[in-house]
Chains A and B, each alone.
Chain A
Amino acid sequence: MFEPRWKTTLKALLYLSPALLVISVFVIYPMFRSVWISFFKDYNIFKHTGSGFGLDNYKWVLGDGRFILSLKNTTIYTIVTVPVSMAIALFIAVLLNNKMKGMKFFETMYFLPYITNLIAIGLAFQFIFNSTYGILNKILAVFGIDPIMWLNDPKYSLPALIIFGIWSGLAFKIVVFLAGIQGINRQYYQAAKIDNTSRWRTFTKITLPLLSPMVFYIGIISFIGAFKTYVQVVGLYGNNPGPADTAMTIVYYVYDLFYGANEPPRAAAASVILFLIILVFTFIQLRVSKKRVQY
């Protein structure tokens, strides 16, 4: 009754071919080139010639204090931003999923950050974080906390970036979660209603499980994205990623290595290391999900 497997495979490949073609040419191929370059100690990117084939660049990067710093910063950033941002977004999506008036208005508000210009956002946050007149410190003062030099103090520059990161990641997640929640087959809710199930039980036993693929998608994507953070650093800090590089992320480091110090092979090596780190973590996440995600 169903087509034999090989025919399905061929058909599938046909459907996949446009995407595969584009991604192969514009992502996979350049990836390989980067990896290739990373093995040359000296590489002339204009003439495409290199010398010193080996692992020198990897050793250099792994021994570079700035790389280690950026690795530390990025890891902390990711571990904090992703779960927190997801939790808040889920919470808001649930809040928005009701039949009360004005929800559409609120949804628009929550989506606005996604389209607003990054530099404008960065400027606004510079104001928020300002140590003398920033809103954040004013709020903290109410609780009796002394003013914090968010952008100036090496201890707080990463937290400032984290707060900014959580904020800027919300819009996308809220929209996806909300769409996901609203895409759940009404039948399930109707059945629950008939059984007189409580709201909390409905949420935990029906909504969450059925939403789990979406949650998982967001988790993976956000995690990968967080590890690749770059524009947020530029938006908040411009050319100087935190005092003494305390808010420098790995991609910022890579970019700086490539175009600032003009060291493409080392930048490539750092990218490969980043790639491997993300790969490992994502793999772990995938394994974990196999047990949790339901369709």
Chain B
Amino acid sequence: MKTVYKIIIYLLLAAGAIIMLFPFFWMITGSLKTYNEITASPIVWWPNPPQWSNYATALEYAPFDTYFVNTVIVSVANTASVLITSIFAAFAFSRLKFKGRDTIFSVLLATLMIPSQILIITNYVTVAVRMQLMDTLLALIIPFTASIFYIYLLREFFNQIPEQLYLAAKVDGTSDWRYLWKVMVPNSKNALITIGLFNFIASWNAYIWPLLLTNSQNKRVLSIGLRYFSGEAGTDYQLLMAAGTIVIAPLLFIYLFLRRYIMEGVARSGIKG
């Protein structure tokens, strides 16, 4: 590739990266400022001196360690179940030709069109009252074990795998189950990891549902902890930034660790024999 092109690409990407990064930068520097420095006008760019104590202070506001454990449990369970249900459902929508396929898919897609805020109260009654799962981690997992959002995405990824492979396998007498696990899933590693990561992040940051369904400190999650910094009269921004940084650090770590798998394409050399 011509050097000129390379330079242009780097410049563009760098410019974009700065824009994307800015709030993250703002959060980190904010976490080290005093309250007055954050709200100061004109702008104070760098904390002077950096208030490392903000992190310690923020952690005292709520039992973040317990919250952390719970959040991990719920997010992992959630992600695992979403992957399973999505694999099954996406497979059905992608490869199986069955009656009503498009209809059912459309109905499921329509479920995305209702704002979740309005569904919460009914779900609360279902889970807390009817299922008697109030104040349990299970309550935080169950309603989110499947989502058309990810099923749809995975279907598209599955569709990228050539259909000839499937037809050939069927000719060979391979069962759907075998095909799914021996061919489709291995070839969709990227997509699955991507979906898993998205879901994990969403689960990690979910707030309203955990708040409604838990009361005990030993059942609560990190996102609730973040709420301790905003009050009626104002927000302790600097502490919120510190806590916020702590909360997303694991996500960043996981992303960095997994991104190899997400971004690398799986080289496909054609129809497997």
Given that A30-B119, A125-B23 are contacting pairs, would A213 and B159 also be in contact in the complex, using a CB cutoff of 8 Å?
Answer: yes
Range, interface on chain B? 35 or more
Q: How far is the CA of A133 from the CA of B41 in the complex (A)?
A: 8
Q: Which of B112, B146, B149 contacts A22 (CB 8 A)?
A: B146
B191 at the interface (CB under 8 A from A): yes
Say whether A124 contacts B23, CB under 8 Å: yes
What residues of A have a CB within 8 angstroms of the CB of B251 in the complex?
Answer: 115
Q: Mark B247-273, 1 if CB is under 8 A from A, else 0.
A: 110011001100110111111111000
Do residues B112 and A123 form an inter-chain contact, with CB atoms below 8 A?
no
A217 at the A/B interface (Cβ < 8 Å)? yes
Q: Decide yes or no whether B138 CB sits under 8 A from chain A.
A: no
Given A110-B20, A123-B237, residue A267 in contact with residue B118 (CB < 8 A): yes
CB of A49 within 8 Å of the partner chain:
no
CA distance A255 to B121 in the complex (A): 12
Which segment of A12-20, A57-65, A140-148, A240-248 sits at the interface? A12-20
A203 to B141, CA, bound (A): 42
Closest CB in chain B relative to A248 CB, distance in Å: 14
CB contact list, A95-124 vs B, under 8 A: 95-96, 98, 100, 102-104, 106-121, 123-124
The residues of A that contact B20 with a CB separation of less than 8 Å are 109-110, 112-113, 167, 170-171
Query: Are B152 and A31 within 8 A (Cβ)?
Result: no
Complex Cα gap A120–B106 (Å): 36
Q: Which of B95-152 contact A (CB under 8 A)?
A: 96-101, 104, 106-115, 117-119, 121-123, 126, 142-149, 151-152
In the docked arrangement, what's the CA distance between A118 and B241, Å? Answer: 11
A74-108: which have CB < 8 Å to B?
92, 95-96, 98, 100, 102-104, 106-108
Q: Does residue A200 face the partner (Cβ distance < 8 Å to B)?
A: no
Taking the complex as formed, is A55 at the interface, i.e. its CB lies under 8 A from any CB of chain B?
A: no
Cα(A121)–Cα(B153), bound, Å: 27
Question: Is A206 on the interface with B (CB-CB < 8 A)?
Answer: no
Query: Assuming A1-B171, A16-B88, A18-B84, is B263 touching A271 (CB within 8 A)?
Result: no
Report the bound CA distance from A29 to B160 in whole Å.
33
The answer on a CB contact under 8 Å between B13 and A183 is no
User: Which residues of chain B come closer than 8 Å to A112, judged between CB atoms?
Assistant: 20-21, 24, 252
Report A261-282 CB contacts with B as 1/0, cut-off 8 Å. 0001001100100110011001
Q: Which residues of A contact B205 (CB under 8 A)?
A: 115, 117-118
Tell me which of A183, A228, A282 contacts B115 (CB under 8 A).
A228
Cβ of A224 and Cβ of B112 under 8 Å apart?
Answer: yes
The verdict on A214 contacting chain B, using a C-beta distance below 8 Å, is yes
On chain B, the residues within 8 Å of A33 by CB distance are 122
Measured between beta carbons, the chain B residues less than 8 angstroms from A127 are 26, 43
Q: Is the CB of A8 within 8 A of B156?
A: no
Q: Are A230 and B156 interface neighbours, CB within 8 A? A: no
User: In the complex, how many angstroms separate the beta carbon of B82 from the nearest chain A beta carbon?
Assistant: 9
Tell me, yes or no, whether A68 is within 8 Å of chain B by CB. no
CA distance A208 to B231 in the complex (A): 49
Tell me if A12 and B96 are in contact (CB < 8 A). Answer: yes
- Which chain A residue lies CB-closest to B191? A179
Closest chain-B Cβ to A229's Cβ sits at a distance in Å of 10
Task: Give 6 nearest A-B pairs by CB, closest first.
Answer: A124-B23, A182-B265, A30-B122, A120-B27, A117-B244, A124-B26
Instruction: Write the residues of chain B forming the contact surface with A, with a CB cutoff of 8 angstroms.
Output: 1, 6, 9-10, 12-14, 16-17, 19-24, 26-27, 30, 38, 41-43, 84-86, 88-89, 91-92, 96-101, 104, 106-115, 117-119, 121-123, 126, 142-149, 151-153, 156-157, 159-160, 162-163, 170-171, 176, 190-191, 194, 198, 201, 205, 226, 230, 235, 237, 240-241, 244, 247-248, 251-252, 255-256, 259-260, 262-270
Q: Could you write out 19 A-B pairs with CB less than 8 Å apart?
A: A5-B98, A8-B96, A11-B96, A11-B176, A15-B92, A19-B89, A22-B142, A22-B145, A26-B123, A27-B119, A92-B13, A106-B17, A107-B259, A112-B252, A117-B27, A121-B27, A182-B265, A275-B113, A282-B110
